[in-house]
Chain A
Amino acid sequence: DVVMTQSPLSLPVTLGQPASISCRSSQSLVYSDGNTYLNWFQQRPGQSPRRLIYKVSNRDSGVPDRFSGSGSGTDFTLNIRRVEAEDVGVYYCMQSTHWPRTFGQGTKLEIK
């Protein structure tokens, strides 16, 4: 199975400051069609997960442009340009290149 490793697991951030979450996979996530199926999800307290980013860097509809994804191969990053109070929650990366699908452990973002 592909192991997804996120860091940090806890991320205290001051409002208005940037934040960055790393996600590394144990194998390349490049699929035979040339796409890289790396997704980022946000789970706010008490809510269902919500997809923010798909295929490394594509933002879902309605996702603020302060969120951006980057990376390639086995090394990926979610960046938040200026953290707002509504960004509090847990962030997960997930690969959908290989079966079984696998998630990272989650990164808990809180406001300092």
Chain B
Amino acid sequence: EVQLLESGGGLGQPGGSLRLSCAASGFIFSNYAMTWVRQAPGMGLEWVSSISNSESSTNYADSVKGRFTISRDNSKNTLYLQMNSLRAEDTAVYYCAKGWDGMDVWGQGTTVTVSS
């Protein structure tokens, strides 16, 4: 069974950092691009970042560019999102998803709250 399991969410300070992880199983992780999508409380879905299967290509939303870094470790079947210079507006549930043309599998999400 294909599964994605996010972790690393929690309370972050404004200006602080958090690192999210997404452990993948049930498919050949190194064959697929991966994506992070977030959802602020009571709001819609917002694409955050995507990375190619070989890590050669990355893309970011303008709202996170220069602050967030997406990466992956294909030997560990794990996707990461390093979040720096956190802002209150980064408060959201963060989902990892398989693929970048159309995300066909999603994790259960991890909640990030940015507050002092």
**A48 at interface by CB-CB < 8 Å:** yes
Least CB separation from B65: chain A residue: A100
| B101: Cβ under 8 A from any A Cβ | yes
For A100, the chain B residues whose CB sits under 8 A away are 47, 59-62
Q: How many residues of B contact A (CB 8 A)?
A: 21
Number of residue pairs spanning A and B whose beta carbons lie under 8 angstroms apart? 53
- Distance of A39 Cα from B101 Cα, bound (Å): 9
**Chain A residue at minimal CB-CB distance from B97:** A49
21 contacts between A and B (CB under 8 A): A39-B102, A39-B103, A41-B45, A43-B45, A48-B106, A48-B107, A48-B108, A49-B45, A49-B95, A50-B106, A51-B103, A60-B104, A92-B44, A92-B45, A94-B47, A99-B59, A100-B61, A101-B35, A103-B45, A103-B46, A105-B44
Further 12 A-B residue pairs, CB within 8 A, beyond A51-B104, A92-B44: A39-B103, A43-B45, A48-B106, A48-B107, A48-B108, A48-B109, A54-B101, A100-B47, A101-B50, A102-B47, A103-B47, A105-B44
